[in-house]
Structure 1
Amino acid sequence: MGSGHSHASTGHSEPTADAIAARRKANRILAAVLVPLTLLTLAGMAMLWPSGSKEGISLASPYSAAPGVTFDTGKIQSVVEESCMQGSAASGPASDTTGQPAPQGSECMFASTQPDQGGSPVKVVINPEVAKSHGVKPGDQIRYLNLSNAQGAAASQGSPAYIFVDFVRTLPIVVLALLYALVVIVVARWRGLRALLGLVGAYFVLAGFMLPGLVEGKSPILLALVGSTVIMIGVLYFAHGFSARTSTALLGTMFGLGITAMLAAWATDAANLAGVGSHDATTLINTSANISISGVILCGLIISGLGVLNDVTITQSSAVWELYELAPGTGARKLFTSAMRIGRDHIASTVYTIAFAYAGAALPILIIVMLYNRPLGDTLTSAELSEEVIRTLVGSIGLVLAIPVTTLIAVLVVKATGIRPVAQAAARSGETLERRAPEINPDDVEDTGALAAAAEARRSRRATLEGAEAGTREDPDPAAVPETRRGRRADRG
């Protein structure tokens, strides 16, 4: 497709002048619709742009420290389990994660850690949750709270001087990110690189426009629609190029976003999604009076389906163009039916994709709910799972409806461009050659070799005409064409 999607057939030849003119006409048709929508979206973004003020927000960061307290990093050298009292002899009796002294006789896990800033190893107490679930081992990089220089009487209250906070995951995440970028660029080449850069741009829209807008209490549905549309305009054109296929996919994506937004707005209110089952939502409720948890959930329902929606619309648009350019004589109804056969396969796979993606993200919640031994209906409609269930259903409905709409738009555009069927042109060309070919009377030709050559030429022209009318059939072997009467006469001669 020029500079568009990559679902192109490798057997395509260079586009003809008619095809190029038709694509330009398609771009003009789509631009007449998309340019006003884009300008309207940008105007909405300017009106909704957040001020950046955090007035009235009260949120105590868990990573803020009191005077004299620091967050340090280090490498574990050894791990021991010993009495909580003995293990913290250097810094007073050890305490649990609530700050209360641990019961006498209980066992605690301690990690002898070499600080990254230098100095002697320190004994870091490991949280019981980490010790039971994952544990720590020599060689792990950890981040810990250093209370040794804290002001006050922390040590006299029985608190340990060094408390485990988290693992340092910088290296594995950087390695995975580089590997991902390398694989995408090697396989998809420049288009893959553009997609990665588009992802960076989408992050800035999300972090600089949508999240601050939610904090300031702006309309969540408008923030989601405007922000998602801006993201899709950027990533689609940047990754797939400016073409009629991409523009068609963008129109289908906008339709899918609109359907998803309406369903999400209704479902959020009808199902009373208030985020009461989430610790993070409870934290946000107490942070600012401007933040609406229902609005945050609504915005999340719309954003969550962007990736899959983009995938199905660009694929359907490209499928219509490929089918039409392979058989330009195909009628609109048959073209739509053929493309929808591809779309139905895509629907089946993407429904599973969304469902399993959300199930994997909510796996700890699923296990907890399973252990409650509640009925299935109560489980799926509980506060813990209802948001994930509604997100799956809303996103699936939006993308399923976007497929036939995108297909219909693509069919209307390609038929409106008026690409001249190549097979018909070839057939007309063959008919002209047939009409121009002179009739040869064998009685007028003394040279039987010339007569045989003329018969062979006529058979070749007929084979060309038949191949053009068939559309995709290759030119037949002249030896397989039945002999004409004149050919037999030439052979006898």
Structure 2
Amino acid sequence: MAHDHDHDTTDLAPLEGSRLGRRLRLAGGVLLALAAIGLVVLWPRGDAPDLGEPGFREVDAMVLDVRPTTCPGLDVPGDVTCRLVEVRVTSGPDDGSFGSFAVRDIDPEVPDLEADDEVVLRDAVDAPEEFRYSYSDFQRAPPLLLLGLVFVVVVVVFGRLQGVRALLGLAASLLLLVTFLVPALLRGEPVLPVALVAGVVITGLALYLAHGFSTATSVAFLGTLAALVLVTILALLVVGAADLTGLAQTEAQTLTITAEGLDLRGLLIAGIVIGVLGSLDDVTITQVSAVAALRRADPSLGPVELYREAIRIGRDHVASSVNTLVLAYAGASLPLLLFFAQSSRDASRVITGEVVAVEIVRMLVGSIGLVAAVPLTTVVAAWALTRETAGMATAPEATPARREGRPLDWDDFGPADDLA
């Protein structure tokens, strides 16, 4: 997804008016145009599978009181106790009305409710009054909206105009997922072409909206797409070799009934591809910035030397990015890890079981894509910059590395240089 990058790529400005710069921008534009054509061809048409009426509607409510009560129904064991939750409905046609529902104390799906809790209820209008309402979830709109507002403010204050552009790219990417990717998959369009088209367009939106239609952005765009192709091929091979079915999640199992034509194995691969996009564009735009900064610090560097120095920075970035990606997946799967830690199953069986194996494949395939993106992007940026600016060298700046007689590294080109 789109990120708010604050990397200085202005040192590729000499390429903007060059023939090579125009070719790189043209290549990026052509690929984006082809993806746009794919978007039109694969755009969802017709009706999506209809799940039918759920038999209830959801309404907001405020908990007024919770007290012990006799459990309703005839099949309740005598040692099971219940709580009566009294509520006031705060939305829908019955706004302002009062109701109640019973909750078994042993029901794991319902948390401990207290007075003044704001909840979402299922309202089965045609059911008997004592069974009409049931707990669905807590209301979370206010804190989520506040968090979203804080996020927007932080990005805009720090990133300024570039932050605004990054937010526009993020909004456009989310809109594409909602209006194209999900509806197309539900209507039975081929999963991999849909995911790749969406991935190319999302990458283009994220990079070009945040950084402008420049040669530097085009280099990052091409590097990201090259890594994306590698991720797709690797995911295809590994998912097939490991016999992953895509049925590990309950939601996927439900889709076999509600969307019969959906390729669940393809859906798994598409999820891997879409999931790695944000990290890929972060790595590639950083590498382009690193190459530009290195060239500025020492214009006499040739393509091989420039590549070697930039790769040093890339290794640092990859090390942190891979760690971030793995921990993100591990954090999302923490309840699952705790569950298996309590089980008596053999550790090797747990690891090779589909539920865990899917997450391992996501982590490792995504990480390999991140690692590959660094040399792919760096070699294009180093070659392009040295090819077109060979005659523009000026006296190199006295960087800390040059003064100390050591190789250049990331600290020589950090944000402090721009603030000095």
Q: What's the counterpart of residue 220 of structure 2?
A: 249
Helix, strand or coil for the counterpart of 1:365?
helix
Q: Post-superposition shift, 1:288?
A: 2.8
1:82 aligns with 2:82: no
1:99-153 deviations in Å (ceiling 9; x for gaps)? x743234211222212225556422324657668742222211122334x526xx
Q: What's the counterpart of residue 59 of structure 2?
A: 72
Helix, strand or coil for the counterpart of 1:317?
helix
Query: Which residue of 156, 164, 168 corresponds with 1:193?
Result: 164
Q: Post-superposition shift, 1:352?
A: 1.0
> Are the equivalent residues in 1 in contact too, given 2:60–2:118 (CA < 8 A)?
yes
Query: Which residue of 248, 272, 295 corresponds with 1:324?
Result: 295
Q: Post-superposition shift, 1:277?
A: 2.6
- Map 1:313-462 to 2 at 5 A: 313-418=284-389, 420-424=391-395
Helix, strand or coil for the counterpart of 1:305?
helix
1:433-474 deviations in Å (ceiling 9; x for gaps)? xxxxxxxxxxxxxxxxxxxxxxxxxxxxxxxxxxxxx74289
Q: What's the counterpart of residue 273 of structure 1?
A: 244
- Map 1:208-227 to 2 at 5 A: 208-227=179-198
1:270-322 deviations in Å (ceiling 9; x for gaps)? 11221333211111001133111111111111111001011100000111011
Point out where structure 1 has 5 or more consecutive residues left out of the alignment. 85-93, 425-469, 475-493
1:8 aligns with 2:8: yes
- What amino acid sits opposite 1:369 in the alignment? F
Q: What's the counterpart of residue 150 of structure 2?
A: 179
Query: Which residue of 5, 20, 23 corresponds with 2:16?
Result: 23
RMSD value, Cα: 2.6
Point out where structure 2 has 5 or more consecutive residues left out of the alignment. 401-420
Structure 1 residues 417 and 411: CA distance shift in structure 2, 3 A: same
> RCO (CA 8 Å, sep 6+): is it higher in 1 or 2?
2
Q: What's the counterpart of residue 115 of structure 2?
A: 138
Which is greater in Rg?
Answer: 1
1:205 aligns with 2:179: no
1:315-368 deviations in Å (ceiling 9; x for gaps)? 001110111022111122221111111100111111111111111111222122
- Map 1:51-62 to 2 at 5 A: 51-54=45-48, 57-60=49-52
Question: Within 1, Cα distance between the matches of 2:367 and 2:50?
Answer: 37
TM-score, L = length of structure 1:
0.74
Q: 4+ runs of 1 displaced by more than 4 Å?
A: 117-120, 127-133
> Are the equivalent residues in 2 in contact too, given 1:83–1:106 (CA < 8 A)?
no
Q: What's the counterpart of residue 467 of structure 1?
A: none
Helix, strand or coil for the counterpart of 1:373?
coil
1:233-281 deviations in Å (ceiling 9; x for gaps)? 1110001112221111001000011000101111221112213332111
> Are the equivalent residues in 1 in contact too, given 2:195–2:273 (CA < 8 A)?
yes
Q: What's the counterpart of residue 38 of structure 1?
A: 32
1:111 aligns with 2:82: no
> Are the equivalent residues in 1 in contact too, given 2:5–2:282 (CA < 8 A)?
no
Identity of aligned residues (%): 32
> Are the equivalent residues in 2 in contact too, given 1:327–1:421 (CA < 8 A)?
no
Structure 1 residues 195 and 145: CA distance shift in structure 2, 3 A: same
> Are the equivalent residues in 2 in contact too, given 1:332–1:411 (CA < 8 A)?
yes
Structure 1 residues 39 and 126: CA distance shift in structure 2, 3 A: same
Question: Within 1, Cα distance between the matches of 2:190 and 2:174?
Answer: 20
